[in-house]
Chain A
Amino acid sequence: MSLIEVRNLVKKFPIRGGVLNRVVNNVHAVRGVTFDIASGETVGVVGESGCGKSTLGKCLIRLIEPTEGLVAYEGEEITGLSHSELMPYRRKMQIVFQDPYSSLNPRLTVQATLAEAIKLHGVVKQSGSAMDDYIDELMRQVGLRPDDKVKFPHEFSGGQRQRIGIARALSVRPDFIVADEPVSALDVSIQAQVLNLMKKLREELGLTMMFISHDLKVVEHFCDRVLVMYLGYVVEEVRTDDLDNTAQHPYTRALLGANPIDDPDDRRPLVILQGDVPSPINPPPGCPFAGRCPLVMDRCREKMPPLEVKNGAPVACWAVEDGKAPEPLTRAGSRSPASA
């Protein structure tokens, strides 16, 4: 059964202007997204900056109110719930942020940050030594020294801060975590450490995750399934087992083609995208990728293709035909991506 169900989710940010401060236009951040996340699964969301992936993640845990559509948790709709009705779901769904420097209140010690969440949800019933033990355990879990809990955030490095952010998300024992680009602000070496930590925690605690990133390689390494977003649409939903061979959408293929490969023998056709992402304020009709797509047809500029299952995986593209699988990107004999 799916833990999270998202149906036709739309988020528009109004742009106000004029004398009367009326809504003159909208930023179309998320434009009708539908998908499910199964319990225990990790779903990646990739896309360029501004494609709506963070907005999608925040809509899921109600940090942003979606304009239309619904989000359900274990079959219960959570869009439209009031603050108090939402409280049990707040405990089950948490978020890890991108920027480790602004995601921690500089005036609170680590202990205070963790304790206030624990107290609010009554995770530990009585304060005192039980609370201290719980916090110590949490610190150990994310690979920090329990003695450091009395320190302030500025006394930690970026990677350590991100661990504190993870500890805060875990402090209320959630089932589902939205990781909003958790490693993109970190060094590559630290990225690997934090990713491995998250992987370990995911297995230990049986977490379901939504992993937002712009790095397809990280997503491939970390997730079971990936949603590729382009200007508010999910254009492809694909399993990460054999991404190079199963990706169908030209945008996904272009993203994969842009990844550097550690194999001199692997010469894949290089697709370099021209132009830019259209503005989300007045998006063009039809497929938003049409302006940059190598396979563009007249039909693409008129109507957005629906997300249909073609060759066994959902993809939104007119050029992809069912029953005619696209050429694999990887040449036979080359290595598959190394696991970390």
Chain B
Amino acid sequence: MIRRFLRSRGMRKFRRNRLALFASGIIFVYFTIFLGIVTTEILDVTGVTEAQLRHGTRIRVLPRLHPGFLQSSSTEKRYLDINWHKDRLGRVFDRDLSSVELPRQALGELDLAERKVIEAPLGEVIEQYEAFLAAYETLDELFYERDDLLDYMLSVELDLKDARKAGDEAQSEELSAEFDEIQAEAAEILPLFDEALEEAEARLADLMPPPTGWDGVVYGFRTFLGSDVSGRSIACKGFYSIKTAFQIGFVVATIAVLIGTLLGAAGAFYGRWVDNGVMWLVSTLSSVPYLVLLAVLAYMFTGHEYFDNPTQYPELQLVKLYTAMGLAFWISTCRVIRGEVMKIKELEYVQAATAIGFGRPYILLRHVIPNTAHIMFINFSLLFIGAIKSEVILSFLGLGVSGQPSWGTMISNSKDDLSNFFFWEVGTASILLFILVLAFNIVSDALQDAFDPKHV
């Protein structure tokens, strides 16, 4: 059956479409990531536990709002990062570590994923910290000096421009002399500052060396897209969201296609009151906007022991989404299947089955529903991507996923930072979603072209 399908003329036509093949490759990659995360969570094959995997999307890996690859931090940002590290280190080292029962554990609080405080006797670690602190203090002084100087330089430069515009020869000469003086001073201080910055960074690297080897690769993955407002890894969140999206897509599409097919087929096949009931349900449910339904369900489940307990049952958080989308999405499938079954039930092979003496339910399940498989297949793929898009929109609105990362919450959390040109989080979430939706559309378009009986 599958081999026949793969050898069919439509499939050959599909295989000739390079773009569609590329797009199916992309979907395959997404699917592999999804499967990887799911098998890790359920089967525990890789040695990484579910808690660790989720943990990866929650822990700090970098200072807050750190840019990703290709974009280097500005001097100010580098200083602020050092400052951030200093505050964080201070909170641990200011305690008297010698009196702490397990100093290593206290130091462990400082770990940024794979980037850990060096393994050394406590005295050495404290020495390293003090070296960093000394470097930091020099840097701090220089930073304020530099800051004042740059401010002063800016104001003089502006005054100079104004004076030149006004044509005040005497003043502009005076100002330009002052400007030159400041520039000379800046030329002295700025390299000093840069030196101090590098020194502080080097001391920090001594204390918390960047991981090497396999850890380095993992840490590189965690940091290559930067960090969000709490210093969490954008890459981890973005890729983990693939699982969230696919999970919702699969569950919702399966529920919707199953309900839609069964009700639509039963309504069309049995007619009379069954059909009236199904059509009543369809028109009633299609008159309820599913956003409202979702809001009601979310409100209903608020504080529920099982359905609103992100720490213990994070998966059950999604039940309200499944319910609302499942109830909303089966309608389109139901209508299409109903129309198709109305056609099929008059076909002669159905009559032949009746003549042989099969019961109505058997004919429905064996002869009618299998012949709507192509519609179920198309509807599944449409609903799958539709559910993912809806999930992102709902999460953006704050009605959707909680307890695990989602592209929607990523976009909604970082939209304020866009005005500071921090595009990494919005960009990651949007591009991952965009590629998936585009690939899906290309593939379904190509499938439709390839299997459309009018064009084959």
Contacts and interface: CB of A to CB of B under 8 A. Distances in A.
A149 interface: no
Interface in B344-398: 347-349, 351-359, 366-367, 370-371, 373
Contacts of A58: 351
Contact of A91 (B357, B358, B366, B373): B357
Contacts of B359: 83
B357 A90 contact: yes
B367 A105 contact: yes
B358 A120 contact: yes
Contacts of B371: 105-107
Contacts of A103: 347-349, 352
Interface in A98-123: 98-99, 102-107, 116-117, 120-121
Given A105-B367, A105-B371, A106-B371, A117 B356 contact: yes
A86 B371 CA distance: 27
Interface size class of B (residues with CB under 8 A): 10 to 19
B354 A99 contact: no
A120 B355 CA distance: 12
A90 B370 contact: no
Nearest to A178: B355
A33 interface: no
B276 to A, nearest CB: 10
A91 B357 CA distance: 8
A172 B355 CA distance: 11
A83 B358 CA distance: 9
Given A87-B357, A99-B348, A105-B367, 6 more contacts: A86-B357, A90-B355, A95-B351, A95-B352, A103-B348, A121-B357
Interface residues of A, number: 27
B349 A104 contact: yes
A120 B348 CA distance: 19
Nearest to A100: B348
A251 interface: no
B346 to A, nearest CB: 9
A107 B370 contact: yes
13 contacts: A58-B351, A86-B357, A90-B355, A90-B357, A93-B355, A95-B351, A97-B351, A103-B347, A106-B371, A107-B371, A116-B366, A120-B358, A168-B352
Interface string A38-59: 0000000000000000000010
Contacts of A87: 357
Interface in B309-367: 347-349, 351-359, 366-367
Contacts of A93: 355
Contacts of B357: 86-87, 90-91, 120-121
B2 to A, nearest CB: 14
Interface in A54-111: 58, 61, 63, 83, 86-87, 90-91, 93-95, 97-99, 102-107
- Say whether chain B's binding surface is mostly helix, strand, loop, or mixed: helix
- Name which of B349, B353, B370, B373 has the most chain A CB atoms within 10 A of its CB: B349
A102 B347 contact: yes
Q: Which 3 A-B pairs have the closest CB atoms?
A: A90-B357, A103-B348, A97-B348
Contact of B349 (A61, A94, A102): A102
Contacts of A98: 348
A172 B358 CA distance: 13
B275 to A, nearest CB: 12
Interface string A170-201: 00100000000000000000000000000000
B359 to A, nearest CB: 7
A301 to B, nearest CB: 36
B361 to A, nearest CB: 11
Nearest to B276: A21
A58 B367 CA distance: 20
A131 to B, nearest CB: 16
A102 B345 CA distance: 11
A64 to B, nearest CB: 9
- Name which of A91, A102, A104 has the most chain B CB atoms within 10 A of its CB: A102
Given A95-B351, A104-B349, A172 B370 contact: no
Interface in A143-168: 165, 168
B356 A172 contact: yes
A121 B357 CA distance: 9
A116 B348 CA distance: 16
Interface string B57-83: 000000000000000000000000000
Contacts of A99: 348
A95 B348 CA distance: 10
Nearest to B360: A83
Nearest to A94: B355
Contacts of B355: 61, 63, 90, 93-95
A90 B349 contact: no
- Name which of B351, B353, B358, B371 has the most chain A CB atoms within 10 A of its CB: B351
Nearest to B357: A90
A19 B121 CA distance: 91
- Name which of A63, A93, A106, A107 has the most chain B CB atoms within 10 A of its CB: A107
B367 A63 contact: no
Contacts of B358: 116, 120
Contacts of A83: 359
Given A105-B371, A106-B371, A116-B366, A63 B356 contact: no
Nearest to A88: B357
B349 A105 contact: yes
A116 B363 CA distance: 11
Contact of B356 (A90, A97, A107): A90
A168 B366 CA distance: 16
Contacts of A117: 356
A173 B366 CA distance: 23
A117 B366 CA distance: 13
A87 B359 CA distance: 10
